Chains A and B, each alone.
Chain A
Amino acid sequence: MKGLAEQAGQMERRAADLALANQLLQKQKRGAEAILYSIRDAVIVVDSFERVVVANAAAEGIFSFRLDRTASRPVAEVINHPEFIGFVGQIRRNGQEHVKHEIVLRSGKDARSFDCILSCVKDDKGEVTGVAAVLHDITREKEISQAKNDFVSHVSHELKTPLASINAYAEMLVDGEAKDETSLEQFCSIIQSQAQRLNRLIEDILNISRIESGLVKVSKQPLSMAILIRDAVEMIRSYAQEKSISLHTPQAIIFDQVYADKDMMSQVIINLLSNAIKYTPQGGSVTIGCEVHDADGKIRVSVTDTGVGIPPEAMDRLFEKFYRVEANKNVAKGTGLGLNLVKQIVETVHGGRMFVASEAGKGSTFGFELPLAAGRPVEVA
């Protein structure tokens, strides 16, 4: 009797241990499933009969299926992507590990690219018991890489244009093709101006790239917008006079302080002013306005011209790098980088917003909004 009671006690303890171990295992399983389910990459596991046994939320999302409704059905019936199904079968038959393919998934107009890494799952004896697939979305990386390639090819084209002039005129000088003093002076001055153009291009490209990569040195301080505008207008006045363009400046406003980088903001205002003058015919006018909106704590600066204006189809692309309005290319020279730089300075560096309005043939208004430097003391230059 004693023996039986002891045995019964041991059995009870063992049963309790097993229940505890089972609880622990269940907990670990739920934990592992939670981790698997939360991974952003899609994870799918099929067994040796190619039935889907594991799939996380990302996998269900990209292949549009629900594991709880499709469990244990062959992968080919669950996922409508013959290429992917083909890879799974191939890997399982060949017993391969870590095979990488790129696949494209389309839904409507949208196409996304994925790195698909497949591996065989093997048991202790090395027998293939299934295939695990992990899909990582590389659409964004591919877009960035494409944009970089386009940028490099565009930059090299833009750099080669002035370089072609410098090269050709230098050769002309060497070959004695400048037949008189005037030609000699002209060739030299073209070489000089094209070298300057090359330098401006390089400076603009570097500035944009520094801002984009966050490497730019920004020294913000409280500044009066009226003083910034006044200084910029003084710098640009002789250019306006050359073209007999009248410049209208705003009345000084009492509280117009912003917290900004002085050199960068000056560059923004000068760039907008010089663009306005550049694209306005002789005798036109350029008006710079400055308004304070106390209610939303913003200052709004605008530059309005009576120039050639911008056709509606070009409006969305104005701030793109190297974009130039086709119809206005013959009006003035430009790199197509100025407005992109202006936008980067206003929006990326200062948290402001650019705006533009235009009517072809009548003129344009370019401007920006910046937050007011609330309560900060102001240094008067």
Chain B
Amino acid sequence: MSDKRVLVVDDEIHIVQVVAIKLRNNGFDVITAENGAQALELTCTKHPDLVITDFQMPVMTGLELVENLRKRPETAELPIIMLTARGFAIEDEKKKALKVSACLSKPFSPREVLQSVQEVLGLHAASPA
């Protein structure tokens, strides 16, 4: 079990839900947001240990969210995993510059998301439920 808090951001409610259930079933504390603006606010008030965000969202895109997070000292190093429906939506250089820990393309596997979260947070894989 982990006491880590993960923020999941996607405008597709089903996607948010499936990632949240997978992580909660594996001991994570999960909070959710449906766009970048909401997510930005939650990072200030709820201080997650990691953010998983979609790329294309209304109001504020995933990329804008990451750029905004990097501008603030308190979230400048916050680990981020991106989900994207377009394989090449974010170039490697940009990924590096924005310190995006991992990029997973949709359709994605909740198993891979969990594994990626564990790797990024430096946790050992939990025994299968």
- Is the pairing of A and B real? yes
Enumerate chain A interface residues (CB-CB to B < 8 A).
153, 157, 160-161, 163-169, 171-172, 175-177, 179, 183, 190, 194, 326, 329-330
Q: How far is the CA of A165 from the CA of B108 in the complex (A)?
A: 9
| Residue of A whose beta carbon sits closest to that of B89 | A157
* Residue of B12, B14, B21, B34 most packed against chain A (CB within 10 A): B14
Mark out the residues of chain B between 1 and 39 whose CB falls within 8 Å of any chain A CB in the assembled complex. 11-12, 14-15, 18-19, 21-22, 25, 34
Residues of B with C-beta under 8 A to A326: 58-59
| Residue of A whose beta carbon sits closest to that of B26 | A177
Q: Is the CB of A172 within 8 A of B106?
A: no
**Given A165-B14, A330-B34, A175 and B58 contact (CB-CB distance below 8 Å):** no
Enumerate chain B interface residues (CB-CB to A < 8 A).
11-12, 14-15, 18-19, 21-22, 25, 34, 56, 58-59, 85-86, 106-111, 129
Q: Is the CB of B129 within 8 A of A167?
A: no
Q: Is the CB of A329 within 8 A of B58?
A: yes
| Residue of B whose beta carbon sits closest to that of A176 | B129
Q: Which 6 A-B pairs have CB atoms at the shortest separation, nearest pair first?
A: A167-B107, A164-B107, A164-B106, A165-B14, A168-B18, A160-B85
**Given A164-B85, A164-B108, A330-B34, A177 and B21 contact (CB-CB distance below 8 Å):** yes
Q: Is the CB of A164 within 8 A of B58?
A: no
Q: How far is the CA of A329 from the CA of B57 in the complex (A)?
A: 10
Q: How far is the CA of A176 from the CA of B21 in the complex (A)?
A: 12
Query: What are 15 contact pairs spanning A and B, CB under 8 A?
Result: A160-B85, A161-B85, A163-B107, A164-B15, A164-B85, A164-B108, A166-B107, A167-B108, A168-B15, A171-B109, A172-B22, A177-B21, A177-B110, A183-B21, A330-B34
Residues of A with C-beta under 8 A to B34: 330
Q: How far is the CA of A161 from the CA of B106 in the complex (A)?
A: 7
New A-B contacts (15) at CB < 8 Å, excluding given A157-B56, A164-B108: A160-B107, A163-B106, A164-B12, A165-B15, A165-B18, A167-B107, A168-B19, A168-B107, A169-B14, A177-B21, A177-B22, A177-B129, A179-B25, A329-B58, A330-B58
| Residue of A whose beta carbon sits closest to that of B113 | A168
| Residue of B whose beta carbon sits closest to that of A193 | B14
| Residue of B whose beta carbon sits closest to that of A177 | B25
Q: From residue B36, how far is it (CB to closest CB) to chain A in Å?
A: 13
**Given A157-B86, A183-B21, A190 and B110 contact (CB-CB distance below 8 Å):** no
Residues of B with C-beta under 8 A to A179: 25
Residues of B with C-beta under 8 A to A164: 12, 15, 85, 106-108
Q: How far is the CA of A270 from the CA of B59 in the complex (A)?
A: 30
Q: Is the CB of B85 within 8 A of A172?
A: no
Residues of A with C-beta under 8 A to B25: 177, 179
| Residue of A whose beta carbon sits closest to that of B14 | A165
| Residue of B whose beta carbon sits closest to that of A194 | B14
Residues of A with C-beta under 8 A to B12: 161, 164-165
Q: Is the CB of B11 within 8 A of A157?
A: no
* Residue of A163, A164, A176 most packed against chain B (CB within 10 A): A164
